[in-house]
Amino acid sequence: MLSLDHVSFSRCHRPILNQVSLAIPAGEFTAILGANGAGKSTLLSLLAGELTPQHGHVRWAGQDLRELANSQLARVRAVLPQNPGLGFNLSVDEVIAMGAYPFAELSPSAVAEVIQAAQQWADVSHLTGRRYPTLSGGEQQRVQFARVLVQALAAQQAGEYRCVLLDEPTSSLDPLHQHGLLAAAQKLAQEAGIAVVAVLHDVNLAARYCSRITMLAKGSIIASGIPCDVLTPDHLQQTYQLAATVIAHPQDPKRPLVLFDC
Amino acid sequence: MCCRLLIPNWLAGLLATGVLLILLVFTASHGAVQIPLSAIPDLLLMNAPLLSDEQQFWRDVLLEIRLPRVLFAALAGGVLALAGATMQALFRNPLAEPGLIGISSGASLGAVSAIVLGGGSFAILAPAAFLGSILATALAYHLGRRYAGMAGLLLAGIAINAICGSLMGLFTYLADDNQLRSLTFWNMGSLAGATWQRLALLGPFLLLISIWIMRYWRAMNALLLGEREALHLGFAIKGLRRKLIVLVALLIGPLVAATGGIGFVGLVVPHCARMLLGADHRRLLPASFLLGAIALVLADYIARIAVVPAELPIGVVTSLIGGPFFLWLLLSRKS
Amino acid sequence: MRIYYSLTTILLLFFITVFSTLALASAPRVVSLGGPLTEIIYALNAEQHLVAVDQSSVYPAAANQLPKVGYYRQFSLEGVLASKADIVLATDQAGPPQALAQLRKMGIKVIVLPGQANLSALSQRIRGVAAALNLPQQGEQMVKQISQDVKALQPATSTSTSTSTSTALMLMSRSGEPEGAGKNTSADAMMQLAGLRNVLAQQQGYKPLSREGMAALRPDVIITTTSTLSSMGGMAALLARPGLAQSPAAKNKRVIVMDDLLLLGFGPRLPEALRQLMSAAK
């Protein structure tokens, strides 16, 4: 299991995260919520192994992330970055196939199988054969998501712990595709038993799809747990500096619905 | 993007290899010494004692002079283009080329100092050029490491190039008339020194390094997405960068030492390959190698044929033809 | 064992005689890589042997009619082979070295001669070319004539040098900016032979001259070539040039202009060139 153990991180002597501890359990879809500059993306980068904390440890199954080889980590952890850009002329299929790069041992047919599944999950089957630079921003985002799905699903053994990190995956998507992507991520957690973490801005989307929510404010965790425990007016005030009303969702009473009062 | 060649990889590879082979045979059968095409099979197949004096002469020209030269041209072209494609992947910039991190200017500085200080025989010049390229690259890499990303390497490369350039200026100032002329010709590049010995010395080594570089196609594709993405896909960027730079220096150092400066192939050929086949490095790297080989064999053919019985410097031909061709390609694709 | 040795020796001797008679019988085909060598071949009246020359062979004009195999520093190997040469005459600056080695491997006689600008190198050049063309007597004759002529010119200068040595500046320009000739140039050698003191004797080779640097040199005589004069915009422009205008040479209008190849060629026309230079410098 991937976990943060009293992690502190600062950039140019400016503290960004302070004594953060968090576990990312398998089969759960965890949302990370917080205002701008709360340290959400830094938290994700620490989980991804891109950054090393000044204090504390990021652990993978008890082992410090620094001790794991990059190539080893890539076989169990996939990341969807915030603004995937691409200046070079590749086809959609070539981009999606990159998800299988860490698994050089897979046969071409096995790779093709995973790619097909990922394309369906990410709803990009109709984009095959297109050149990546000709796609719209939202389409590019979904193609990148399909690549991440390939990396998450390829050669997965039964019961193997794997983790997928999504940094603001819905930022350039229309409402329909926002729901589509988050539903696919939820399915990834529930059906493939993968630990999914997403940095999100929309509180109600998080409440709809995520099984756990972690709220960050000024580099510290305010609350962490199941949505109806975490999404309280008090926590929301602390996180966003906004007064909020939380009611039961009219169509799904177990799910909280957040209304910001402004 | 619709203009991309939609043919399978194996067919494209076969096609390019075929074109290269035909070109090798064609260019090897033409030159200042006129050898009738019909005589060539006899020259190759008959036993030496059965040949007339004339035929014996033709055979020597064909086997001892032309064949090593066209093969060396193919090797050099392939290596230059492959190194260019690798640098472009590494810097994530289609304008990158090995010269960017001081490989070429280091080699030039080595050659110039050998010419001015050491008399300039090939025995000194080649090792000096090789040493120069490796040292300049190592220095650029070492200095550039302090910055994150490729920016540091780029800046260090610019500084190294400037320093090498000014030192070369100093040596040029110190040089006498004869040395100056040697210098000028070295910078224009030449394949005239191609012999079987040199081919045997460099060929296997350069081919080995080339194949080694091609094995990094996955990492180079991942770099297209971005350095973070490559990291997420399991490629340790720092190590990868060091490996690729060392490999490129090992390709270009010995080659520049043997041929002098041959410009434009490393920049233009990968571009053309990318326009034809897209940016997937699994195809792009071998395609660049083959296209580079084709381009330099052709350029060398023109250099040998254009002003018979004299010869044009190869570097002049590559730039003279490569430049306008590249412009035409850019303009015709835009519309 | 001994019998084998003597047998091989006899055989070798036999072949050597056969080949040398064959070579004598058929006139050798010669390629010259270097203008000075070409000039010597013409001076020996042996131009009928020349089948190709390099691009620096522009004197005499007839040499321009011959096929050119590229510049001597980077001649075309196949170009030389295509001319079916038996002998290649090259200065020590000719190359690339691998190409010369290849020529030797193909059974062509490659004769490398010194290219420096001094009398002994000139004598070696003439003797080497003459020997290659089977004209040793004519070569010896020419060497003798040249050294006699040069010697005949010398005493006149040596007396004049004791009284007053003129200082000279040799200017050369290809781009309009003049460069001055220092040590180890044929211009310097000519000045020495003519009894002139080179104001740039401290410097090696040709170097660009700043205006102030030129002004500081204060030469009595300026020597230059016809092509330099035209690239600098003619005599009037040269005399008016800041830095030069202040020199004694410009004030007294003592500018010697000579043909490039005559002045700097250091070939069989050396006595003629020296005579011209010295009479103009008087």
**Residue C131 shares a structural domain with residue C187:** no
Chain B contact set for A134 (CB, 8 A): 1
| Residue B143: partners with Cβ closer than 8 Å, 6 or more residues away | B152, B156, B159, B160
Do the Cβ atoms of A59 and A2 come closer than 8 Å? yes
Query: Does the distance separating the beta carbons of C76 and B192 come in below 8 Å?
Result: yes
Distance CA A130, CA A142 (A): 13
Chain C CB within 8 Å of residue B61 CB: yes
Residue B214 has pLDDT above 90, yes or no: yes
Residue B23, domain member (yes or no): yes
CATH number at residue B253: 1.10.3470.10
Residue B45 has pLDDT above 90, yes or no: no
**Residue C114 shares a structural domain with residue C173:** no
Q: Three-state SS for C175?
A: coil
The minimum CA-CA distance between C185 and chain B, rounded to whole Å, is 8
Which residue numbers of C have CB closer than 8 Å to B's CBs? 52, 55, 67-71, 73-83, 93, 96-99, 102, 105-106, 184-185, 204-207
Do the Cβ atoms of C281 and C221 come closer than 8 Å? yes
Share of chain C above pLDDT 90, in %: 54
Find, in chain B, the residue whose alpha carbon is nearest to that of A75: B234
The answer to whether the Cα torsion of B46, B51, B56, B61 is positive or negative is: negative
**What is the model's pLDDT at position C17?**
53
**Residue C169 shares a structural domain with residue C276:** yes
Q: Determine the angle formed by the axes of helices B314-334 and B265-277, rounding to 10 degrees.
A: 30
Least confident piece of the model among A17-26, A182-191, B147-156, B293-302: B147-156
**What is the model's pLDDT at position B124?**
83
Residue C10, domain member (yes or no): no
Residue C9, domain member (yes or no): no
Residue B1, domain member (yes or no): no
Query: Does the distance separating the beta carbons of A88 and B231 come in below 8 Å?
Result: no
Find, in chain B, the residue whose alpha carbon is nearest to that of C79: B309
**Domain containing B257: what range?**
9-334
Residue C78, domain member (yes or no): yes
Minimal Cβ distance to A79: which of B94, B222, B232: B232
| Consecutive H or E run containing C168 | strand C167-172
**What is the model's pLDDT at position B207?**
97
Read off the tokens for B319: 């730039």
Residue C177, domain member (yes or no): yes
| Residue B19: partners with Cβ closer than 8 Å, 6 or more residues away | B294
Read off the tokens for A40: 């959400």
**What is the model's pLDDT at position C25?**
46
pLDDT tens column, B92-128: 888 888 888 888 899 889 988 988 887 766 678 888 9
Minimal Cβ distance to A91: which of B222, B235, B278: B278
**What is the model's pLDDT at position B335?**
47
Query: Does the distance separating the beta carbons of B175 and C185 come in below 8 Å?
Result: no
**Domain containing C181: what range?**
164-281
**What is the model's pLDDT at position C4?**
64
DSSP A91: B
| Residue C130: partners with Cβ closer than 8 Å, 6 or more residues away | C40, C44, C136, C138, C139, C140, C142
| Separation of CA B289 from chain center | 9
Query: Does the distance separating the beta carbons of B193 and C78 come in below 8 Å?
Result: no
DSSP B64: I
Residue B55, domain member (yes or no): yes
Of the candidates B19, B89, B66, B27, the one whose C-alpha atom is nearest the C-alpha of residue B290 is B19
**What is the model's pLDDT at position C41?**
95
Residue C6, domain member (yes or no): no
Exposed/middle/buried for residue A164 (C-beta within 10 Å: 0-12, 13-18, 19+): buried
State how many domains chain B has: 1
Residue B112, domain member (yes or no): yes
Query: Does the distance separating the beta carbons of A85 and B221 come in below 8 Å?
Result: no
Query: Could you tell me the pLDDT band of residue B2, with boundaries at 50, 70 and 90?
Result: very low
Read off the tokens for A174: 């229309």
Find, in chain C, the residue whose alpha carbon is nearest to that of B190: C74
The minimum CA-CA distance between B10 and chain A, rounded to whole Å, is 16
Q: Give how far Cα A159 sits from Cα of A69, A156, A195, B329, Å.
A: 22, 8, 12, 54
Query: Does the distance separating the beta carbons of B229 and A89 come in below 8 Å?
Result: no
DSSP C204: B
CATH number at residue C206: 3.40.50.1980
Chain C contact set for B310 (CB, 8 A): 55, 68-71, 75-76, 79
Chain B contact set for C97 (CB, 8 A): 121-122, 193
Query: Does the distance separating the beta carbons of B232 and A77 come in below 8 Å?
Result: yes
pTM to 2 decimal places: 0.83
Of C99, C126, C141, the residue at which a domain comes to its end is C141
Its ipTM equals 0.89
Chain C CB within 8 Å of residue B189 CB: no
Q: Give how far Cα B18 sits from Cα of A216, B22, B24, B288, C223, Å.
A: 62, 6, 10, 15, 61
Chain C contact set for B65 (CB, 8 A): 77-78, 81, 102, 106
**What is the model's pLDDT at position B1?**
38
**Residue C171 shares a structural domain with residue C91:** no
Query: Does the distance separating the beta carbons of B236 and A88 come in below 8 Å?
Result: no
Read off the tokens for A153: 């699903």
Chain B contact set for C52 (CB, 8 A): 309
Which residue numbers of B have CB closer than 8 Å to A's CBs? 1, 4, 92, 94, 218, 221-222, 224-226, 228-229, 231-236, 274, 278-280
State how many domains chain C has: 2
Q: Of residues C14 and B234, which shows the higher confidence score?
A: B234
Minimal Cβ distance to C76: which of B121, B177, B309: B309
User: Hey, of C53, C54, C81, which one would you mutate to test binding to chain B, going by the most B CBs within 10 A of its CB?
Assistant: C81
Find, in chain B, the residue whose alpha carbon is nearest to that of A77: B232
**What is the model's pLDDT at position C45?**
93
Do the Cβ atoms of B224 and B149 come closer than 8 Å? no
Chain C CB within 8 Å of residue B309 CB: yes
Residue C221, domain member (yes or no): yes
Mean pLDDT of A133-144: 91
Of the candidates B260, B303, B300, the one whose C-alpha atom is nearest the C-alpha of residue B67 is B300
Of the candidates A91, A119, A79, the one whose C-alpha atom is nearest the C-alpha of residue B229 is A79
Q: What is the pLDDT along chain C (282 residues), one digit of tens a residue?
A: 556 666 666 666 555 555 554 445 467 999 999 999 999 999 999 999 999 999 989 989 999 999 999 988 889 999 999 999 999 999 988 888 888 998 998 899 999 999 888 999 999 999 999 999 999 999 999 999 999 999 998 755 555 444 458 899 999 987 777 889 998 889 999 999 999 999 999 888 888 888 888 888 899 999 999 999 988 888 998 888 888 888 899 889 999 999 998 999 899 999 999 999 999 887
In the numeric block, the tokens 């030469």 are attached to C219
Residue B147 has pLDDT above 60, yes or no: yes
Which strands, in side-by-side order, build the sheet including A63-64? A14-24, A2-11, A55-60, A63-64
Chain C CB within 8 Å of residue B53 CB: no
| Residue A250: partners with Cβ closer than 8 Å, 6 or more residues away | A257
Pairing of strands C206-208, C179-181: antiparallel
CB–CB contacts below 8 A, A to B: 77
Residue B6 has pLDDT above 80, yes or no: no
Q: Mean pLDDT for chain A?
A: 92
**Residue C119 shares a structural domain with residue C170:** no
> Residues of B numbered 106-165 whose beta carbons fall under 8 angstroms of chain C's beta carbons: which are they?
121-122
Residue C113, domain member (yes or no): yes
Mean pLDDT of B313-323: 86
CB-based touch A/B (3+ pairs, under 8 A): yes
| Consecutive H or E run containing B171 | helix B151-174
**Residue C118 shares a structural domain with residue C212:** no
| Consecutive H or E run containing C141 | helix C136-163
CB–CB contacts below 8 A, B to C: 95
Query: Does the distance separating the beta carbons of B236 and A98 come in below 8 Å?
Result: no
Domain ranges of chain A: 2-260
Q: Of residues B31 and B4, which shows the higher confidence score?
A: B31
Residue C118, domain member (yes or no): yes
In the numeric block, the tokens 């402004």 are attached to A262
User: Hey, of B4, B150, B229, which one would you mutate to test binding to chain A, going by the most A CBs within 10 A of its CB?
Assistant: B229
Of the candidates B334, B255, B226, B312, the one whose C-alpha atom is nearest the C-alpha of residue B84 is B255
pLDDT tens column, A31-66: 999 999 899 999 999 999 999 999 999 999 989 998
**What is the model's pLDDT at position C162?**
45
Cα-Cα-Cα-Cα torsion C39, C44, C50, C54, nearest 10 degrees, comes to -10
DSSP B4: S
Which residue numbers of A have CB closer than 8 Å to B's CBs? 48, 50, 69-75, 77-79, 81, 84-91, 94-95, 98-99, 101-102, 104, 131, 133-134, 151
Apex B58 CA angle, B56 and B62, nearest 5? 120
**Residue C67 shares a structural domain with residue C171:** no
Distance CA A94, CA A32 (A): 31
**What is the model's pLDDT at position C125?**
95
Of the candidates A31, A146, A154, the one whose C-alpha atom is nearest the C-alpha of residue A102 is A154
| Consecutive H or E run containing A216 | strand A212-217
Chain B contact set for A104 (CB, 8 A): 218
Query: Does the distance separating the beta carbons of A90 and B229 come in below 8 Å?
Result: no
Of C81, C109, C141, the residue at which a domain comes to its end is C141
Distance CA C197, CA B333 (A): 65
Q: What does CATH list as the number for A2-260?
A: 3.40.50.300
**Residue C27 shares a structural domain with residue C136:** yes
Of C106, C141, C176, the residue at which a domain comes to its end is C141
